Amino acid sequence: MRKLVAANWKMNGLKAGGVMLARDLAKRVATGKLSSELVICPPATLLIAVAEALKGSSIALGGQDCHADEKGAHTGDISAVMLKDAGCRYVILGHSERRIGHHESDADVRAKVLAARKAGLAAILCVGESEAERQAGKTLDVVSRQLADSLPPGLAGMDAANLSIAYEPVWAIGSGRTPTPAEVTEIHAGIRRALGSQLREVRILYGGSVKPQNARELMTAPEVNGALVGGASLALDDFWAIARACG
């Protein structure tokens, strides 16, 4: 299974710097040996510029969120078909910063997954527990519930290429703290079981304070099929080191 490494730039970057970062990464991919698939998810304001910078590159473009509707009176939102039209192949959905900061429910996320699927985008669906849930020993219960309630019913094996799951423990994001490789393996194995046989080819990514110093041990752990990278994706050398750690 080819690993996927996704750069989530979050609300960072202006045009000049974003284009330069995308171009420099594309140059490294063109000249360096890399077996992993890369995707850059910039802010919506940079989608067109980054798409142009990546033209001719194997690096894919992704959005950071989408609305469940194709169009309408939703000021400030962006639809899945708009992302597709801008050149996106991926979209991040259900990130904890959306679930918490924008009060998105599992039902909201499920509607967005359906919209992405209809538009022909590959969804990167995020799940993860809070520190309190982790300390209570509820990690697997929480991520299993999020999967069950955030994924549309009736997904078939053919959807595996258009879906990835990103396990991002909320307590690890931006904190510099990460679970051990053994803990990540256990949780990813639990996610794999929860997905069932129909979705056995779905890639399960790890996210949450991924950096060059811990990337190799995390990315070589069993059941880890790539990474969703936040802050470290804004530094070319750091993101490249993580991508190389994935193969």
Q: Provide the CATH number for the domain around residue 56.
A: 3.20.20.70
- Total domains in the chain come to 1
Residue 12: Cβ within 10 Å count: 15
Q: How high does pLDDT run on average in the chain?
A: 94
Task: List the catalytic residues.
Answer: 95, 168
Task: Print the domain residue range for 137.
Answer: 4-246
Q: What is the pLDDT of residues 145-194, one digit of tens each?
A: 999 999 988 765 557 779 999 999 998 888 888 899 999 999 999 999 99
Q: How far apart are CA 84 and CA 129, in angstroms?
A: 30
CA atoms within 13 A on the CB side of 200: 2
Is pLDDT above 60 for 228? yes
Question: What mean pLDDT is predicted for residues 204-209?
Answer: 94
Q: Within a 10 A sphere around the Cβ of 136, how many other Cβ atoms?
A: 12
